[in-house]
Amino acid sequence: MNTKLRYGMVGGGPGAFIGEAHRRSINIDGKAELVAGCFSRSFEKTKERGRELGISEDRCYATFEEMAKAEAAREDGIDFVVVVTPNVSHYSICKAFLEAGIHVSCDKPLAVSVAQAEELERLANDKGLLFLVTYTYMGHVTARHAREIIKAGELGKIRTVVAEYPQGWLAYEGEWGGKQGEWRCDPEQSGNTNCLGDLGTHIENAVTTMNGLKIKRVLARMDKVVPGRKLDDNDFVMAEFENGATGLFWSSQIAIGHDNSLRVRIYGDGGSIQWFQEEPEKITVIKKDGTITEVHRGYSSIAPEAAKYGRLPSGHPEGWFEAMGNLYKSFIECIEAKKNGTFTPDMIDYPTVSDGVEGIRFVEACLKSQELGNVWVDL
């Protein structure tokens, strides 16, 4: 008997990186199969991608509206949809599937305004639907370990956080970035931010997930460094957390020499941690007596709540696909529990629509800070 969940995808057509990444990550555990899609605004390209993926032509759709309605009406309809389109379309697509009673996974950022994000949150809650926002990096076992040791009080009271996410792939105009860079720099597709929405939201989610604290207010400087660029490509944000702790965040797409360098340092009165996304197999913990411990995935020193997501023995590196796969592992388990009546909210171990809302509040506050002349703005 086939017990796999069924899912559909909107976006992820020819030339799209992130759609294939989601498909590969979902396939790691083999708990869900792709059976439907609207992969492109071009119906011909959708059908072409459908044939490549082995999807029946009658489940390749010309529009996402048609897909949501048709799949909701089928006895063998999809259990969840994966939305991997440019930012400005997230709201309308997610709303259509929520209204159709279908669970949703959406790439970040959740939407382009707080009003949109909060409406999606309300819809999901009202209909009792699950909603994953794929902040991929928090799927890493070592990132989850950071969350657990901070929750356990091993760093004491959190005092300050320093985090950065520099890339260099959009350091120039022209051919740099290709199709992926083109839409991110276009306000009609990306919305009112580029770098902050693409990278800064990962910082916000990483630090708040790890330290368990909400951001209270921000002061932002958002620059357009490359001549002619319409949206930000280099951002600095100072933050204050609800407990009085401070934060300093830098996100950039013009930092030549950096590929995907998300780095988080959290300092408490009892110690500190250093976690680097490009070295996800380890995390460094420094105690106030100067003891430095490098904790590696796969060993018994990893917190059980994090270790359960490890797939390979130590020394066999896990990476980006596994991190996203871990988010889907929890998401799919929760959907299965919903279907058989055993779901409880404490089962959720992935970034939810509420986390997505917090990300958009962060973005809007930073935009307001920039607009008002780089002043402090409450979230």
CATH of 138-310+358-378, one of 3.40.50.720, 3.40.47.10, 3.40.50.300, 3.30.360.10: 3.30.360.10
Would you give the DSSP letter of residue 197? Answer: I
> What are all long-range contacts of 277-282, with beta carbons under 8 Å and residues at least 24 apart?
277/137, 277/140, 280/137, 280/140, 280/141, 280/142, 280/143, 280/318, 280/319, 280/323, 281/142, 281/317, 281/318, 282/142
Q: What is the pTM of this model?
A: 0.95
- Encode the chain (379 residues) as per-residue pLDDT tens digits: 458 999 999 999 887 889 999 999 999 999 999 999 999 999 999 999 999 999 999 999 999 999 999 999 999 999 999 999 988 999 999 999 999 999 999 999 999 999 999 999 999 999 999 999 999 999 999 999 999 999 999 999 999 999 999 999 899 876 555 555 566 667 677 778 999 999 999 999 999 999 999 999 999 999 999 998 889 999 999 999 999 999 999 999 999 999 999 999 999 999 999 999 999 999 999 999 999 999 999 999 999 999 999 999 999 999 999 999 999 999 999 999 999 999 999 999 999 999 999 999 999 999 999 999 999 999 9
Domain ranges of the chain: 5-129, 138-310+358-378
The answer to whether the beta carbons of residues 206 and 138 sit under 8 Å apart is: yes
CATH of 5-129, one of 1.10.10.10, 3.40.50.1370, 1.10.3720.10, 3.40.50.720: 3.40.50.720
Measure the CA dihedral 209/213/214/219, to 10°.
-100
d(CA 22, CA 377): 35
Q: What SS3 state is found at 120?
A: helix
Phi, psi of 92 (to 5 degrees): -65, -35
